[in-house]
Homo-oligomer: A and B are copies of this chain.
Amino acid sequence: MSKGTITFMNEKKKINAAILIIGNEILSGRTQDTNTSTLANWLNSLGVKVNEVRVIPDEEKVIVDTLNYLRKNYNYVFTTGGIGPTHDDITAESVSKVFNRKYEIHKEAFKILESYYKPGEFNEGRQKMVWMPENAELILNPTSGAPGFSVDNVFCLPGVPSILKSMLGGLRNKIIGGEPILSHTISLKTVESEIASSLTKVQEQNKDIEIGSYPFFHAGKLGVSIVIRSEDQTKIDACNSQILEFVKEKKIEIVER
């Protein structure tokens, strides 16, 4: 085995993503976003780490500028919202501008929706949903017909959570992830200040591991969850042992959540 190969095998392949939530309804507080956690959990399972989320209004210039930044700075960008039939659905046209592509009828999408609807029901409003950037790749929609699409590393999904969820299965093979990000949680019957200094020491001894501390108030229980995240199970295990050591010393109770 050449030295080059060994180096390659030891290198961690880190793949990252940004999520862009497009929608005035989230910014106004009217709608509670749940697509971020859906996408983040799904991407994690594919070995893709979400590094940034932005929520922006339905304004073309903002969408174009933000997408241009995100697509150049992350391996993948996932947008949600703005691909329906109404006037405030401007994601597809904005993405066309981002990539300098024609905004036109996507023939395959047209066929899909033409056969999805009953004769006569594929009206003008619905036809708006087949307008996409030239040569966009479709993301099939098993729930309500209208496909999402991708251009280069930008994947455009709908805002309705149940429809978005149903489209992830078909998208899975288009995403090339890195090593899966593993995590381990230890929940303790304590408060953060009791473990803060011990946890700091563990973090200092494990600089490449992400250790988070999260207080919880849940079903009458009050405590702290420590979450260890890494691509390397051995490192997680080592970190876990160090934490369990001070937990034992301090006689802190471990709880189920």
Quote the shortest CB–CB distance from A150 to chain B (angstroms).
21
Contact B51 A197 (CB under 8 A): no
Quote the shortest CB–CB distance from A203 to chain B (angstroms).
5
- Which size bracket describes the interface of A in this complex? 35 or more
The segment out of A99-107, A165-173, A213-221 that lies at the interface is A213-221
Interface status of A94 (Cβ within 8 A of chain B): no
Most chain B CB within a 10 A radius of its CB, from A30, A200, A213? A30
Q: Which residue of B lies closest to A159 (CB)?
A: B214
Q: How far is the CA of A186 from the CA of B22 in the complex (A)?
A: 22
Interface status of A64 (Cβ within 8 A of chain B): no
Q: How far is the CA of A100 from the CA of B55 in the complex (A)?
A: 28
By a CB distance below 8 angstroms, the chain B residues around A162 are 217
By a CB distance below 8 angstroms, the chain B residues around A88 are 203, 211-213
Q: Mark A174-189, 1 if CB is under 8 A from B, else 0.
A: 0000000101000000
By a CB distance below 8 angstroms, the chain B residues around A195 are 86, 125
A interface, CB within 8 angstroms of B: 21, 24-34, 36-44, 49-58, 84-88, 123-126, 128-129, 160, 162, 181, 183, 192-197, 199-200, 203, 210-215, 217, 227, 229
